[in-house]
Amino acid sequence: MARLIDLTAPLGHPDLCLVPTFPPVEFWRFHEHPTHGRQNSAVRMAIHQGTHLDSPNHFYADGPTIDEMPLETFCGRAVKIDVRATTKPQSPITKEHILNSSGFEPQRLKGAIAVSWSGWSRQALFTPDYFPRNPYLDKEACEFLCACGMKALCMDHPIDPGMRPGGTAQKGDSPGHRTVLGRGIPLIEHVINLDAFPETEFEMFAFPMKLYRVEGAPARVVARVD
């Protein structure tokens, strides 16, 4: 029987590490059970907090927005790339690390969702260290994964070097984002629970909210394993 495994970090969790330079996630209730006999809530947030997807429009003005991308892009066969043994805080994940990862076969990535499995979200997503000290994919590694024919890139870590409070967005920064999104490949960022199942190949569903003409969206990311 198939199992469903939630790979999504809970938005609003008090310990979830948020992108330092982005607006925080804020919930409030405008109807409450004692007064109104129901509960209705509102949220204000940057859509790139927590587990979410990026479309090419995130870094390219002429790239498709999240609602313009075909649903087939966000689901299907997924392949873990286990780089836990070589991943270090504040250090790049390189093409060599990928090639030397256990069981790696580049041909398996063609038409699949590549999943960079560093162990970093398990270690740090619910601590203040997640963004300032994160490992990241270097540009050559990103180019290599794109050349393998993946249709989406999923990660349990940020794709680019760590962000710190007070940092500013600048043209030409974020080489990982620019490399992958520039090839029309979406990103599925900050997943959890990749260690909850032993399979290296599985089925993934990562459907984003259908936000009109926006560059990304929160998503509920799920693995299905037999």
Output the tens digit of pLDDT for each of the chain's 226 residues: 899 999 999 999 999 999 998 999 999 999 999 999 999 999 999 999 999 999 999 999 999 999 999 999 999 999 999 999 999 999 999 999 999 999 999 999 999 999 999 999 999 999 999 999 999 999 999 999 999 999 999 999 999 998 777 777 888 889 999 999 999 999 999 999 999 999 999 999 999 999 999 999 999 999 999 9
Instruction: Assess contact for 207 and 173: CB atoms under 8 A.
Output: no
Is residue 34 helix, strand or coil?
Answer: helix
- For 104, the token pair is 């790696």
Find all residues with CB under 8 Å of 70, minimum gap 6, and list them: none
- For 160, the token pair is 């680019």
Domain extent, residue 92, equals 3-225
Is residue 77 helix, strand or coil?
Answer: strand
DSSP per residue, 112-126: SEEEEE-SHHHHHTT
CATH classification at residue 183: 3.50.30.50
- Nearest one of 2, 10, 24 to 193, comparing CA atoms: 10
Number of folded domains that form the chain: 1
